[in-house]
Amino acid sequence: MLSHLISARRVKIGNPVAGARLMQLRALAGDVSSGDATPEDVSTRLQTIASSGAALAGETATVRTQSVHASSARDVQQLFRAVAGALEWIEVADLVAERNPEIAELLRTYGAGRSDAAEAHWTQIMGP
């Protein structure tokens, strides 16, 4: 299925389990590129993804929602990090923290935080 996507013979993945696995792999790739995943994490997560077929079949909607949240949070983090470095975001967050604590949290979380913190923040704000 993936090779068909790459070669443009397919435009989407029809199997929800395969789609959920692909989203998990995409999230893992984001963690690797941002430095949030160690080599041990990668190995463990790849094994978990590979063995998740049966579990995913019954939970595809939940996994898909979680994967979308994780992907969205990482996309926002990439945007923040493309604009400025972590220290700059922390500095700006400190400037606005007294008057706007929620905005300061947003700046710290997406500008300088870890991916798991961004995902948790996204879920907290946007809902499950």
* 23-80 pLDDT, tens digit each: 888 888 888 888 888 888 888 888 888 887 655 555 544 544 555 656 788 888 889 9
Residue 128 above 90 pLDDT?
no
- Distance, CA of 47 to CA of 123 (rounded, Å): 25
Percent of the chain having pLDDT more than 90? 26
The closest alpha carbon to 36, from 64, 78, 66, belongs to: 78
